[in-house]
Structure 1
Amino acid sequence: MKNLLSITLLLILISCSQPSNDQNIETPIADSWDAEKRVTELGLELPQPSSPVANYVNAVRTGNLLFLSGKGPNLPEGGYVTGKVGLDLTVEEGKEAARLVGISQLAVLKAELGNLNRVKRVVKVLGMVNCGPEFTEQPQVINGFSDLMVEVFGEKGKHARSAVGMNALPSNIAVEIELIVEIED
């Protein structure tokens, strides 16, 4: 009887520790993870990073941290995803725009580091969503970016994050995202 109770408790603990469906992205052990290979497996084509149009740079390194300037959702055919999420765009369209920003930020990382495997950890994300005052689903939109970071970097892609609404963003882009990563020497 005691063994049956122990087994039952063990099964309950195991079932309670399983991730929910919305967090069920498989992430193998960080040491064996290959971000470069994952980019290829995901079929991502990293574009040439856009050049800054003013007096700033795409990234600044201080110590082992790399701070990336905010980027918008570049369309592969040129231009940006524009409009206010919740008014002009659906949450799903906003989420896809955030994923496009992720691809742009990966391109900046690759250009700066030469190899995405030099990313030790995605540390902090600031996601800004162009939306109206009544819109409250900013986290769901920025999940498009966060999910991509975990798909590419595994456990190292999980990060601290802020997802906020903005009255307006430059050129009416739907999403702008800043990124801080820790890098390997």
Structure 2
Amino acid sequence: MSTLADTYADQFKACAIKAEHAAEARAEAARILASRARYEAVAAHFPGMPWWVPGVLHSMECGLKFTRHLHNGDPLTARTVQVPKGRPKAGTPPFTWEESARDALVYDGLDKATDWSPGAALVAFENYNGTGYRKKGVPSPYLWSFTDQYRCGKYVADGRYDPLAVSRQCGCAALMKNLFQASA
């Protein structure tokens, strides 16, 4: 019996980055690689977690700004105000990016993950962002944007889905493909 991680692993293996987004995807991966030491320092708190996990999430949630919470992109000068609200619970603002990132990974249960194969990682990233696309039967742009697995459909606000909207953000799969290629 095939699992969602198996399905995503097959999709990841088969997917291609769209030519019109290839340069942008490579550039975003290069920006992640430039801060690899910071991602390694955070991942080191969680045995088995690859450095690229916080790196990919940092791109997706914060646009690679080290002044933002990994939870949702809110400023580190206060606790988060968007979902999840009031994070981190411990400590006093302003928070460092690293302490907030560790809190975000624990809050979403990624500290307990033991399988970081591409399929399992994509499931974890989708769970981190939300499973609304899966419930709609639509490929998540959070995962597949900039690849041939995604055409359109996007939540344009919390709870507001537009079937014609197109994500302009590089998805996790395209980032992972570039990061894996650069690290090989």
Q: Same fold (TM over 0.5)?
A: no
Normalization by structure 1: what TM-score? 0.25
Greater percentage in helix: 2
Larger radius of gyration between Structure 1 and Structure 2: 1
